[in-house]
Chain A
Amino acid sequence: MTEVLTQTPTVTFAKALNAAMADAMRADDSVLVFGEDVGKLGGVFRVTDSLAATFGDDRCFDTPLAESGIAGMAVGMAMNGMRPVLEMQFDAFAYPAFEQVVSHIAKMGNRTKGAIRLPLVIRIPYAGGIGGVEHHCDSSEAYYAHTPGLIVLAPASVQDAYLMLRGAIDSPDPVVFLEPKKLYFAKERVDVDELRVRYESNRDAGIGRAAIVRPGTDVTLLAYGPSVSVALAAAETAAGEGRSLEVIDLRSLVPFDDATVTAAVRRTGRVVVIAEAPGFASVASEIVARVQERCFASLAAPVRRVTGFDIPYPAPKLEKHYLPGVDRILDVVDELNWEDA
């Protein structure tokens, strides 16, 4: 017990997001949080817990159950001086808002030659691995990443949950903020007070920058959101087998950090992209294309992907067959032309 007290306390991913919103609301009274069940209940994942009680019902409030209404109203509020942070309850329940996101949120700045900027954040609990029933586990990032005008972020660590949400709220551009559901209650030893002080002094949220989360020399694994922990587990297993796998947490899908990825692939010459979403026409496809366009001469093997199958997200009892796992990643790693090395 005494040992624990002397260490940095553990914080969940959800609590870090909650702290980021609370700190942003404290720092700027134009920051508002709204959505379905975000008030008294604190959100179905409790990410907005106590914000209404702390900041009042004008700053954190429940809306009628209508996602297009939530997103469309946020456009007007952002036009008129507010910084709305919206919660979509689940990935697949964000689809009714799609027209507002694609036709207005993404385009307003361009349409008005910068006269109207929409500094809003759309928080979306996303992806699977939680045994959720249909419509609760979609990886919808490709729709947003494909839409010009949106920043698309997918944090994978507690520290990034805090820092990147602070950065998203302060961004002058609209941000789609993808929160991997399976990480909500994952804990890390993180000092949120220290993060707050650091962020408020340098405003650096790491948006647009990938992070090398495990160094390695033989293969580069590129992952984001829920796939980062799987990539790290694969690298750990591979290390036991004598192979050194580097893991890069992409963090920011738009803007994309070509520089970090390119430099890594040029070092290792072998790369596997890991993502939960179906692979066809996906963010993973785009990353493969970018890597081979930029690093062709450095590649010792084809750029490979380990993604979800091109099927609707499966029912809970079948999802283990769908999700990219350590074995599937290591099988692909084994196929990377080692005989030529």
Chain B
Amino acid sequence: MKHATAEQTSFMLPSPQPVEFIDQDGRRQREVATRDYELPGVEKLLRGYQKLVAGRRINDQASALVRQGRMAVYPSSHGQEACQVAAVECLSEQDWLFPTYRDSVAVMARGVDPVAVMELLRGSWHSGYDPYEHKVATQSTPLATQLLHAVGVAHAAKLRGEDTVVVALCGDGATSEGDFHEALNFAAVFHLPVVFLIQNNEYAISVPLRQQSVAPSLAHKAIGYGMPGERVDGNDYAAVLAVMQHAVDRARNGGGPFLVEAHTYRMMAHTNADDATRYRSEEEVRAWDARDPLLRLRAYLRSMGVLHDDDEAAFAASAESIAAALRTGLNAEVEVDPADLFRFVFAEPTPQLMEQAAMLAEELSRPAGDAASASSAGSASGGQP
């Protein structure tokens, strides 16, 4: 192994402070160095702001639908919308996104039908959309496992000479998993076009980041793999988009993988089933109100004179129409077909599954009064040939 000098490797280290373009009062800040990143133009920021407004509305609508019993669970990204939208806005059509369960807003921002996204969380199937349609993988629940799938998609694309970049999302807790390490190492060794975006929202359910890692920052982990790492204010949409766009463009041009740590905050509990008051104070949460990604971008765009009242009304109306579609879709009783239990396990069903499917179909064909006794007597081992 050749030994690199400090100058040769310093580009892999993150900025001394998280990259920030717009401060929490909505002003263009000049204190923090922004390297060569480019402040996105106002058109891009306006487009992003509209998606942030929609993302916030989706988060709050989905949380309400859980309270109303229309969904089983919703891990909200309220407060993380800048990361959700920037992760998608940096992509081209041929690129792939690998999301987690907390990234429903990102999945929808990529174009997936909102009601279909919620199939996982309303409990009608484990995933509700065709991943190939918008090049969005299924939302991964086992932490960090999807990062390796992202690496594989990029590897196949590279072998075939395709112009594909993959953005893979994870949280701060996932950086403790072995698959995080393996994915970054594989991406670096095979020099693949993958951008890893860690949304550091400070908590893995109840466990704060200081109990996950004592690295100087999560972005510092990159140099250990031989790839650049950058940290960015995750509530500054302009900064997240600028850094992500840089990383994606660099990957597309053959520069290899890149790690981005976006520092943000999970404003809600882990899910509706969690009680965040057991592990963090209300004061701590309220301190983040002032750093809200929507307020910040709105203040900036208003001060620039490019966001007008009628724009805001139009953005709110368009967000409301998505929320209405969610309400309509999720208030309707979803059709589930018991035969689907067996239909997709294998491309070519086994004789054993055909037997079991026949057993269930026979149970279901009996008159309603017999169903309860039949199901308690039924053996899971299947019928006899």
Contact = CB atoms under 8 A, between A and B. Distances in A.
21 contacts: A68-B148, A68-B179, A69-B148, A69-B186, A72-B145, A72-B149, A73-B151, A74-B152, A75-B148, A76-B149, A76-B156, A79-B156, A104-B142, A108-B138, A111-B127, A113-B127, A172-B348, A173-B346, A255-B350, A258-B385, A259-B351
B152 A75 contact: yes
B340 interface: yes
Contacts of B345: 109-110, 148-149
A103 B145 contact: yes
A193 interface: no
A80 B153 contact: yes
Contacts of B178: 68, 96
Contacts of A63: 186, 189
A132 interface: no
B298 interface: no
Contacts of A109: 344-347
A293 interface: yes
A77 interface: yes
A115 B125 CA distance: 13
B154 interface: yes
> What size tier do the contact residues of chain A reach?
35 or more
Contacts of A66: 182, 185-186
A109 B345 CA distance: 6
Contacts of A71: 148
A114 B127 CA distance: 11
B183 A69 contact: yes
Contact of B156 (A82, A115, A254): A82
Contacts of B351: 208, 255-256, 258-259
Contacts of B145: 72, 99-100, 103-104
Given A104-B149, A151-B346, A172-B348, 12 more contacts: A64-B182, A68-B178, A69-B183, A72-B152, A76-B156, A79-B149, A80-B152, A107-B126, A110-B344, A116-B138, A173-B346, A258-B385
Contact of A73 (B132, B155, B352, B381): B155
B151 A72 contact: yes
B187 to A, nearest CB: 9
A256 B351 CA distance: 8
Interface of B: 125-127, 130-132, 137-138, 142, 145, 147-157, 159-160, 178-179, 182-183, 185-186, 189, 340, 343-348, 350-352, 381, 384-385
Contacts of B132: 115-116
Contacts, number: 146
Contacts of A2: none
B152 A79 contact: yes
Interface string A186-224: 000000000000000000000010000000000000000
B138 A111 contact: yes
A80 B183 contact: no
Contacts of A81: 156, 160
B384 to A, nearest CB: 6
A15 interface: no
A287 B147 CA distance: 38
A77 B154 CA distance: 8
Interface string A126-146: 000000000000000000000
Contacts of B185: 64, 66, 69
A289 B381 contact: yes
Contacts of B350: 208, 254-256
A256 B178 CA distance: 34
Contacts of B142: 99, 103-104
B130 A80 contact: no
Which 3 A-B residue pairs are closest in the complex by CB-CB distance?
A76-B152, A72-B148, A69-B182
A209 B379 CA distance: 25
Contact of B153 (A79, A110, A171): A79
A32 to B, nearest CB: 8
B183 A72 contact: yes
B131 A115 contact: yes
Contact of B155 (A77, A114, A171): A77
A293 B384 contact: yes
Contacts of B343: 113-114
A58 interface: yes
A119 B138 CA distance: 18
Contacts of B179: 68-69, 72, 99-100
Interface in A260-313: 262, 289-290, 293-294
A262 B149 CA distance: 41
